[in-house]
Structure 1
């Protein structure tokens, strides 16, 4: 991502120069102005919401656009977005989750940069606030960023948000939902004016969180141009995360809510269905996702191929994928998710092979996903010829390559772009249970 990083920093400096020149004088001076004092006041209030005994200063820096844009670009690239964005984009395009023409790497960076607003840099431990907006204009953004900052006082966010080197995008999204969902909760509670009520008391907190976050973003081309899949993944931590925390707080009490740091949710399934995360009888944690293992086949069957990317989709991304092809069945087909792994390979001729193995909680769940994904395949490959159909598998052929969809017990296996001579060997090697 070095070329994107350098381009964003250079563009940020140019952009910041022209924006700064065109704006009015800053509304305050750092450390002494009304904006700094307002930010400090918000921060103190939210510290009290988190823990009445929480003390310690969090540095506040009021900065210009020419300072903020390149600095935030570096932060987003280094700490917010995962490594391997171009490769992840290729995998999502092969799945049919995003359009082929969408520049996933550039789009993701721009989405997290605009609108340019207050943010907390958890590696530096500094809350950055733009100096060209009034306190009223950015009260919500400041309070949300302060909500992230006070959580960093309780736990080390860098370790919490990057818990493993194993590529698991779903786990990362679930943990982001805890931090950003609670930050949204703090911001909503602050907007309620200190009436002794919090976001937990709002029945429609999902809609409230979505509207507050979307309002400034709907005006940006970066958000408008993003595909629905990308938009919804971006919004998930702030919306579903807020609902998840509201649900848990209503069950065990606000004072016990920090349990989500000690025993963090392991998947977006936990966020979407809080009862799968928390057993209300004894506070035990249950319904952990299965870790799906697919061997790297480049040492044997695919020795002339290279592994492009591997990721875990999880329930939420699975729903978003299916929802683009069959809105009526998508939600039911994604529920019952137990685990998955998706891998994308490429050969020297630039052919791409997708391997997608998922596990489901019941035979019904398995069948629902199987038939829903059949709709995905038929929409993605309208010219493919169905060459074999059995009670539990379907095989299509297009331009000498094969698409294979098979269910067995609680598993669904999908191969897209597999050569005929590799169809049976790859499916036999990947399936964790003997089916032939």
Structure 2
């Protein structure tokens, strides 16, 4: 799983001496190290107990022996906190920022995600008013991940990869613990997912990332209280994305890291680690359940359908899955990036374990949605559009969303009202298209096309 906000070590390792266990500086002065157990046990890994101290200084970097000792002790501490046993050692690899970016670009070039997929996905993010027609979503994501990911666990390679911006190999203790939780999850539960929509993927990642962040918080609490003797945190340097033109994309994909820990905490308070373990067999179904933990597991999203009412020259994409579901968190990011939601509201009333607050009256009450991209190709030019249907818990929720969306179109995107519910954004704007917004009871439908005349060709009125 990708790790967005983490600090890790560098590629070039500097020799810095051996990692030798030393007695703890706090507690009983007569305490002695126990013998290594005859077999592996909880809280002990590769020769190190969870409460051992290490004679390690990161001021001149970490050599291989120090790194191995730090990884082993952190594994033991993760076991102790999470009350789960690692079944095998976890290799840790260090790469430079340049190498990581080059590898991402190579994988992107060799990806089986075709130009057709990219065009389809562009329409999904354009529907959210987050990435306009002047940019490719893949480029936005590449810039974001290339500058922000500083460490991740790779299930396919069964190892942790550290991305470094520092000139010396320094490791952030919390980040290492976080990534080791992912390895532990993979060993105990598996990390495979059949989630196919944006909302479902974010929801399921909410448990994977939420569990890891929750353990990271508990780990840091023990460091700060003196219960653990911990290496100091290195100073932050670099590692942030330079792309600020689509901040709502970051807010969207950061949802699992922000809202997941609060749901895990809610589960832990209900039934301890057993309740957290059980959620892996019944993962959240929507970001709504992350934002509002009380809605897990009973309030599942509504299954929706969007009838194809396009004319002959317009068609859906030739894909197994022709639609996407974006969910409540993405709707929040849409209104936030476009300033319908005050920017500072993201960090207000966040709760104990949430970095951001994704709840807002314009998006609370979401019950389901479906985005269906369309295209028209006359052999010389390709035009794109979409139909985005949302459904809400009540008619009042639907009215509030419709009002917020139309206000966003007019005041923040540059839309000009053509007739009741129909808007035209000038072509020199990022979202230069025509929009039709209608409500029928709890359902709000948005139709997008290049011109007002094309709206009925994409999705004719009833």
Kept in 2: contact 1:119–1:142 (CA 8 A): no
SS of 1:146's partner is helix
Deviation at 1:76, TM superposition (A): 7.8
Match 2:422 to one of 384, 390, 395:
395
Match 1:47 to one of 79, 86, 102:
79
**Separation in structure 2 between the aligned mates of residue 75 and residue 48 of structure 1, nearest angstrom:** 39
Instruction: Report the TM-score when normalising by structure 2.
Output: 0.69
**Separation in structure 1 between the aligned mates of residue 177 and residue 103 of structure 2, nearest angstrom:** 18
**Separation in structure 1 between the aligned mates of residue 268 and residue 226 of structure 2, nearest angstrom:** 13
Partner of 1:143: 177
Q: How does 1:95-134 map to 2 (within 5 A)?
A: 95-115=128-148, 117-129=150-162
Match 2:282 to one of 263, 266, 270:
263
**Separation in structure 2 between the aligned mates of residue 65 and residue 275 of structure 1, nearest angstrom:** 42
Partner of 1:433: none
Kept in 1: contact 2:202–2:253 (CA 8 A): no
Distance 1:72 1:118, change over 3 A: farther
Q: CA RMSD in A?
A: 4.0
**Separation in structure 1 between the aligned mates of residue 140 and residue 458 of structure 2, nearest angstrom:** 38
The higher radius of gyration belongs to: 2
Deviation at 1:414, TM superposition (A): 0.9
Deviation at 1:396, TM superposition (A): 3.6
SS of 1:310's partner is coil
Kept in 2: contact 1:65–1:130 (CA 8 A): yes
Partner of 2:361: 332
**Separation in structure 1 between the aligned mates of residue 188 and residue 102 of structure 2, nearest angstrom:** 25
Partner of 1:243: 262
> Number of paired residues?
373
Question: Given the alignment of the two structures, is residue 307 of structure 1 paired with residue 317 of structure 2, yes or no?
Answer: yes
**Separation in structure 2 between the aligned mates of residue 252 and residue 377 of structure 1, nearest angstrom:** 45
CA deviations 1:96-140 (Å, max 9, x no partner) are: 223554453133124224356342111121223468776764222
Distance 1:122 1:77, change over 3 A: farther
Kept in 1: contact 2:147–2:239 (CA 8 A): yes
**Separation in structure 1 between the aligned mates of residue 17 and residue 148 of structure 2, nearest angstrom:** 21
Distance 1:27 1:305, change over 3 A: farther
Deviation at 1:95, TM superposition (A): 3.9
Instruction: Report the TM-score when normalising by structure 1.
Output: 0.72
**Separation in structure 1 between the aligned mates of residue 306 and residue 92 of structure 2, nearest angstrom:** 46
Partner of 2:89: 58
Q: Which has the higher helix share?
A: 1
Q: How does 1:4-43 map to 2 (within 5 A)?
A: 25=14, 33-43=65-75
Unaligned runs of 5+ in 2: 1-9, 19-61, 228-232, 346-358, 428-432
Partner of 1:10: none
SS of 1:114's partner is helix
**Separation in structure 1 between the aligned mates of residue 440 and residue 226 of structure 2, nearest angstrom:** 50
Distance 1:77 1:170, change over 3 A: farther
Match 2:205 to one of 176, 183, 193:
176
Instruction: State the structure with bigger RCO (CA 8 A, min sep 6), 1 or 2.
Output: 2
SS of 2:436's partner is strand
Partner of 2:300: 288
Deviation at 1:420, TM superposition (A): 3.4
SS of 1:334's partner is coil
Question: Given the alignment of the two structures, is residue 375 of structure 1 paired with residue 389 of structure 2, yes or no?
Answer: no
SS of 2:205's partner is helix
Match 1:73 to one of 89, 104, 117:
104
